[in-house]
Amino acid sequence: DVKVTQSSRYLVKRTGEKVFLECVQDMDHENMFWYRQDPGLGLRLIYFSYDVKMKEKGDIPEGYSVSREKKERFSLILESASTNQTSMYLCASNGRGQETQYFGPGTRLLVL
Partner 1 sequence: KQEVTQIPAALSVPEGENLVLNCSFTDSAIYNLQWFRQDPGKGLTSLLLIQSSQREQTSGRLNASLDKSSGRSTLYIAASQPGDSATYLCAVEADSWGKFQFGAGTQVVVTP
Q: Does 101 bind partner 1 (CB under 8 A)?
A: yes
Cα dist from 75 to 40, 55, 82, whole Å: 26, 11, 18
Q: Does 97 bind partner 1 (CB under 8 A)?
A: yes
What is the rounded CA–CA span in Å between residue 7 and residue 94? 19
Q: Which of 27, 45, 60, 77 binds partner 1 (CB under 8 A)?
A: 45
Q: What is the dihedral of CA 4, 10, 15, 21, to 10 degrees?
A: -20
CB 94 to partner 1: min, Å: 5
Give the residues lining the site for partner 1 (CB under 8 A): 4, 31, 33, 35, 40-45, 48, 50, 58, 90, 92, 94, 97, 99-106, 108
